[in-house]
A = this chain, B = another copy of it.
Amino acid sequence: MALDFDYLAQQKQNADKACERLANAQTPFVRNCWYVAARADEIGTEPFVRTLLGSSVLLFRKRDGTVVALQNRCCHRSFPLAEGRFDRDRDTITCGYHGLTFDCTGRCIGVPMQEQPPRGIGVRSYAVVEKAPLVWIWGGDPASADPAAVPHPEWLGSAEWDYYIGYLNPRGSYVHLHENLLDLSHLSFLHATTFGTPEYAVAPCETRVEGMDIEVWRHVECRLPAIYARPLGWEGMRAMRHSGSRFVTPGLHVNTGMLENLELPPDRQTPQPMIKVAQLLTPEAPLSTHYYYCVCRNFAVGDRAVTEFMFNAQMAAFGEDAYALERLSQMQAQEDPEFFYEISIPTDRAGLAMRQHLKRLADAERAHEPRRGARTGTAA
């Protein structure tokens, strides 16, 4: 017997009520947070323009090599500063439309035909921290930015770990991508042919939600998928795979994989092979996300063939996540709102806690004292 509409209408009412406290694609961005703006090697002296948190941002390096991030829209008549003239000796930009000149703090320091520029006009400038191989940007008031709080993981870029960086730009909200990352239940389905294995669907799952510390773990006995088995030479062998997924900030999520061969003696597995992934999510627009992922490993360090193999295998898997994100975003956009609602299941617990946390942060920023806004960036 099909579910009748009275019943479904009641279900929708309950589901909508439960969702009121959760962030979704329409929730304002959390601004008081460190996000990755770009890879360090993407930014040079030439202007690099990128939409971050719904605003067009101009990124470039000063003469001394430090990275500057300015609002790209001239505060006068909205022409893009990126199309202006850059004075490399003075580190200034002159707008290509009416000639207002700005320094690298965003202050207007010259207006044609005026002895003195109007006091205190300018464009927003963003606090920026470069930590190889990434450039981080603070989405809120630079006065409230604490460079020491950039959640750059210590293993990313360190000598003991090798890494590669991928980039995707899916048409979907960073909220839903975070939810995807906190969910390990989809590995057996969405990633059935890439890095999921059937055992995942039934392996016990530990969820830890303590305030904004949100983490899930699974411990799966299985034959490893090729992406890990091949680089380790463990193909066909039984292994334990410990997979952890932790929400760190609105801009960072960390995955940890610890691998244990159940057929080889322990001394053949020192150090224990580990994978760490820094999942770097930066909202571009409500339905678009800059998605960098830095995949780090403590095995086969320096082996370019392994890097290449893993890069390609991982790209396929993360491409599946991006695909799912786009498909669900399309579905949400097209569905008659009267028939739209989301029902959650126990494995969503971590994702729901994260969405509730994002909603609280966004609400707090709206209630706001911008300078004293909650800081969400903490070391991973």
Report which A residues bind B (CB closer than 8 A): 1-9, 11, 51, 53-56, 71-73, 75-80, 83, 94-100, 105-107, 111-114, 118, 120-122, 124-127, 140-143, 176, 179, 183, 185-186, 188-190, 201-202, 205, 324, 327-328, 331-332, 334-336, 339-347, 370-371
Give chain B nearest CB distance to A297 CB in angstroms.
27
Contact with A3, one of B2, B124, B334 (Cβ below 8 angstroms): B124
Sampled A-B contacts (17; CB under 8 Å): A1-B105, A2-B126, A3-B107, A3-B125, A5-B141, A7-B120, A9-B370, A11-B120, A51-B334, A75-B343, A77-B176, A78-B328, A78-B340, A97-B186, A97-B189, A114-B346, A124-B339
Contacts of A1 in B (CB 8 A): 105
Contacts of A141 in B (CB 8 A): 4-6
Asked whether B113 lies within 8 Å of A4 as measured between CB atoms, the reply is: no
Contacts of A346 in B (CB 8 A): 111, 113-114
Q: In whole angstroms, what is the CA distance A176 to B185 when docked? A: 47
| Max chain B C-beta neighbours (<10 A), residue from A77, A106, A341, A345 | A77
Q: In whole angstroms, what is the CA distance A343 to B342 when docked? A: 44
Q: In whole angstroms, what is the CA distance A201 to B96 when docked? A: 13
Q: In whole angstroms, what is the CA distance A96 to B56 when docked? A: 36
Contacts of A371 in B (CB 8 A): 4-6
Q: In whole angstroms, what is the CA distance A328 to B289 when docked? A: 24
Asked whether B113 lies within 8 Å of A54 as measured between CB atoms, the reply is: no
Q: In whole angstroms, what is the CA distance A375 to B301 when docked? A: 70
| Max chain B C-beta neighbours (<10 A), residue from A100, A328, A344 | A328
CB nearest to A127 among chain B residues: B2
Contacts of A143 in B (CB 8 A): 2, 4-6
| Max chain B C-beta neighbours (<10 A), residue from A6, A118, A188, A336 | A336
Asked whether A342 lies within 8 Å of B124 as measured between CB atoms, the reply is: no
Asked whether A189 lies within 8 Å of B94 as measured between CB atoms, the reply is: yes
Contacts of A179 in B (CB 8 A): 77
| Max chain B C-beta neighbours (<10 A), residue from A107, A113, A186, A188 | A113
Asked whether A83 lies within 8 Å of B343 as measured between CB atoms, the reply is: no
